[in-house]
Structure 1
Amino acid sequence: MKILHTSDWHLGQSVMGKSRLDEHRLFINWLSATVVEQGIEAVVLAGDVFDTSTPPSYARELYHDCVVQLNKLDCQFIVVAGNHDSVSVLNESKNLLAKLKAYVVTQPAWDNASDAVLELKNQDGTLAALVCAIPFLRARDMVRYEMGQSGADKQLQLAEQIKRYYQQQFDYAKSISADVPIIGTGHLTMVGGEKTESVRDIYVGSLEALSPSLLPEFDYLALGHIHKPMPVAGNSNWRYSGSPIPMSFDEANSPKSVCIYDTATRVAERLAIPVFRPLKSLKGERNELLKQIEQLDEPQDLAIWLDITVNEDINLGPFQEKLAQLCEGRNMEIVKVQRTRKAAGLFDGDGETATLEDINPTEVFDRLLLEKEIEPSRANVLKQLFTKIVNEQEQPS
């Protein structure tokens, strides 16, 4: 049996107010085609189905459409919740999706391991693999902290409970069969994983990364949460599949892929995902940027999205008008234009302008004092009073 491992779909995500629906729809279609071309019999989604705990209706619709597509292809689908996912949202359709060979696990099954250890069977009905479907393990579901515990004690307690739960699931799978591969899942940060702008820390304040040595010897470990595809602890069968599309501009140059694990050879391979929409960050002075944009190749399908950073203190309004004229009639959109902090020229007076987006309230007040040429001793008193007002405004009522 071939099992496809993917993660971090983040359905419903947007960039600067622009929906990723078209990209996600193309990915789901590509996934279905890949199931057919590669002879995939099971897909494992290792967390973060949705981008938020309250996904828009179109994101839920796409998720359910994917379930239907995979069911038509007679492909089993295992979904575990990630830290972005709402347990209640995934649970609301869980029983219905089970009728379509889609099995959703949202919480640890402490009392009944059979609820989260799933059997994957070949077309002839023989057992091909066992999956310990382990979702993102929220601290509140794992431990009960006591008053006065230190941060180090809480970290140790949580790590031990995660280790205990993984071992419980693994041991139960072994009791079913020791002859077939045992696959684990997880949505967490393992020691050595690289994070990007769009990856939010989990277990904040208690446990930021788990040591691979705490987990049992799974034949394959399907991980989610890190958006870059990579192995863990030098083990090519313990992997982050990465997100299917770049979630932020800093992921634009990171290759996107899924992993395919073969239960017969017990070997995993990566399969590249096409780029559905190019994201590109450009930096430089205004004339240089205009030239770079003019020379860009236009994609055939979805428009390229551009993130522009200007290394000059200029008035962005007229420059944005030039950018709009340059992109008119071309298959590209500018989603963000900003200046580097250094280029804002807040205090030297040499720049064309500085906007409130570039500076905080205290810096605005400091600049006002300079412009009004307030004498130093009085300026210090005024700054202290202003700081007090700002602090009072920032305090919750």
Structure 2
Amino acid sequence: MRFLHSGDWHLGKTLYDVSLEEDQKQFMEQVHEIFGDAKREGKPYDALIIPGDIYDRNVPPAKAVSLLDDFLGRMSRDFPEAHVFILSGNHDGPARLGFASSFLEKSNIHIATDAAKTGDAVMVSGVAVYQIPFLLQTSFPDEETRTQQRLFERATEIIRKSHAEKHPGMPAIVCAHATVYGKSDGEHFLSVGTASSIDRELFSGFTYTALGHIHKYQQLGENGNIFYSGSPLAYSFDDNTDKCFLSVEIGTDTEKPDSVERIPVRTLHPLIRLSGKFSDFIGEDAHKKWAQYRDCYVEIKCTDSTLSENPKRALLETFPRILSFVRERSASGGGSDFEERRKLAMKQGDSEVGLFRKFVRDMHPEDDHTVSAEQLEEEIALFAEAIGEMRNGGAEK
């Protein structure tokens, strides 16, 4: 069996209120191309596995639903022999994702949202494929202990029993949406989103475990047969941008896959974070220096105190897709500690004008040559004049 593993699509996701629809269309188109190329080469894929977080929210926007509908329609039309496995993640609404699943089953599209069907295998080229949707405390009503660890113990117990009875000696693939760590590594049990971590030993004995939920590619397990493909896009500037699909081949070995190959994702608008002085990013020289990032989603971290009425607008000429502009906290504690310093200054009896003077000096330190000392004094004088007028007006009233 040969299949492609890709998780956490988060269709409908926006980044800083910017739609990622075109970016998501790009990686979905690449999936279609990979299947097409493999078919033409005479080594077709038997399946596509997407273990959860198909959508970014419980109630996905209409465009996200249309995006998935178009993709599944093309896959079914162009590769009718290929199976598509989809399960609900913690971001998905099971009832909505599972709509028409019985009908879609006839087209080899298997959508798992019901834990009660965990033991039902789909046979593909002599391999049994099991799906575990994101487990809730209500997934097994008769289960008294409902931690993620116990819920997954129950789910894997069901799969092992079913596999031993119906498909003994055959390779088995388990697809799940979870945070998996190893007790044997001495790692602490953690929580990511709404999913507390579970012991990877629960998946021992299966030929391959296809995981979703963690957005970074990872390989786990003593046999190296437990994988996160990671998300196909970076969905934050802190995310790892080395994205991939996993191309997996399963042979007759029930202990591990024959091969797992990483296929890099072609990203339409990569995420990039740049740091430097404001002046480094504006002007004709900056246009040339940063030309390679014009099609990237950009975050600028400004290391100086230069003021601009609308810094993002000023940076648009250099970075047409800038999403975020932030100032780094100064090492001296200024700039981002205004509130604490204001309280201290008031305790010390500083006047409004004194506070404003400190504010201005914070925003324009001595190494800032964009504003002259005379201009700063003019600003302070105007503020003092305004305060005086307010007080005089109050006294007259």
- The normalised TM-score by structure 2 is 0.75
Partner of residue 62 from structure 1, selected from 56, 67, 87 = 67
Corresponding letter in the other structure for 1:60? V
Shift of 1:297: 3.7
Matched, 1:367 2:367: no
Q: Which residue of 1 aligns with 2:215?
A: 227
1:325–1:269 CA distance, 2 compared to 1 (3 A) = closer
Please say which of residues 87-96 and 303-312 is displaced more in the overlay.
Answer: 87-96
1:142–1:317 CA distance, 2 compared to 1 (3 A) = farther
User: For 2:140 and 2:205, how far apart are their aligned partners in 1?
Assistant: 21
Q: What pairs with 1:253-292 in structure 2 (closer than 5 Å)?
A: 253-264=240-251, 266-267=257-258, 268-290=260-282
Partner of residue 241 from structure 1, selected from 229, 233, 245 = 229
Partner of residue 119 from structure 1, selected from 99, 120, 123 = 123
Q: Which residue of 2 aligns with 1:19?
A: 19
Shift of 1:189: 0.7
Corresponding letter in the other structure for 1:260? S
Q: What pairs with 1:81-100 in structure 2 (closer than 5 Å)?
A: 81-100=88-107
- Secondary structure of residue in 1 paired with 2:84: strand
Structure 1 runs not aligned, ≥5 long? 123-127, 147-153, 194-198, 347-353, 376-397
8 Å Cα contact 1:189-1:202 kept in structure 2: no
User: For 2:89 and 2:322, how far apart are their aligned partners in 1?
Assistant: 31
1:245–1:107 CA distance, 2 compared to 1 (3 A) = same
Shift of 1:273: 1.5
Q: What pairs with 1:317-328 in structure 2 (closer than 5 Å)?
A: 317=309, 319-327=311-319
8 Å Cα contact 1:25-1:62 kept in structure 2: yes
8 Å Cα contact 2:148-2:198 kept in structure 1: no
Structure with larger Rg: 2
Deviations 1:326-376 (A, max 9, x none): 34xxxx311111112337965xxxxxxx6xxx57xxx6476156258548x
8 Å Cα contact 1:91-1:106 kept in structure 2: yes
Structure 2 runs not aligned, ≥5 long? 39-43, 186-190, 351-397
Give aligned-pair identity as a percent: 24
1:297–1:176 CA distance, 2 compared to 1 (3 A) = farther
8 Å Cα contact 1:35-1:41 kept in structure 2: no
8 Å Cα contact 1:82-1:136 kept in structure 2: yes
8 Å Cα contact 1:118-1:133 kept in structure 2: no
Matched, 1:311 2:303: yes
8 Å Cα contact 1:129-1:180 kept in structure 2: yes
Shift of 1:144: 7.2
Partner of residue 250 from structure 1, selected from 238, 241, 244 = 238
- Secondary structure of residue in 2 paired with 1:210: strand
User: For 2:291 and 2:222, how far apart are their aligned partners in 1?
Assistant: 38
Shift of 1:311: 1.5
1:13–1:318 CA distance, 2 compared to 1 (3 A) = closer
Shift of 1:233: 2.7
Matched, 1:295 2:289: yes
User: For 1:273 and 1:325, how far apart are their aligned partners in 2?
Assistant: 28
Q: Which residue of 1 aligns with 2:202?
A: 214
User: For 2:346 and 2:48, how far apart are their aligned partners in 1?
Assistant: 63
Matched, 1:49 2:54: yes
- Secondary structure of residue in 2 paired with 1:288: helix
Corresponding letter in the other structure for 1:285? K
1:215–1:321 CA distance, 2 compared to 1 (3 A) = closer
1:234–1:311 CA distance, 2 compared to 1 (3 A) = farther
Deviations 1:109-152 (A, max 9, x none): 1xx555x42222x4xxxxx2111111111233247798xxxxxx
Q: Which residue of 2 aligns with 1:139?
A: 137
8 Å Cα contact 2:149-2:197 kept in structure 1: no
8 Å Cα contact 1:163-1:215 kept in structure 2: no
User: For 2:156 and 2:2, how far apart are their aligned partners in 1?
Assistant: 24
Q: Which residue of 2 aligns with 1:351?
A: none
8 Å Cα contact 2:287-2:317 kept in structure 1: no
- The alignment yields a C-alpha RMSD, in angstroms, of 2.8
Q: Which residue of 2 aligns with 1:34?
A: 34
Shift of 1:26: 1.1
Shift of 1:201: 2.3
Deviations 1:182-237 (A, max 9, x none): 000111111169xxxxx94233xxxx211112334110100000111110134332
Corresponding letter in the other structure for 2:342? R
- Secondary structure of residue in 2 paired with 1:249: coil
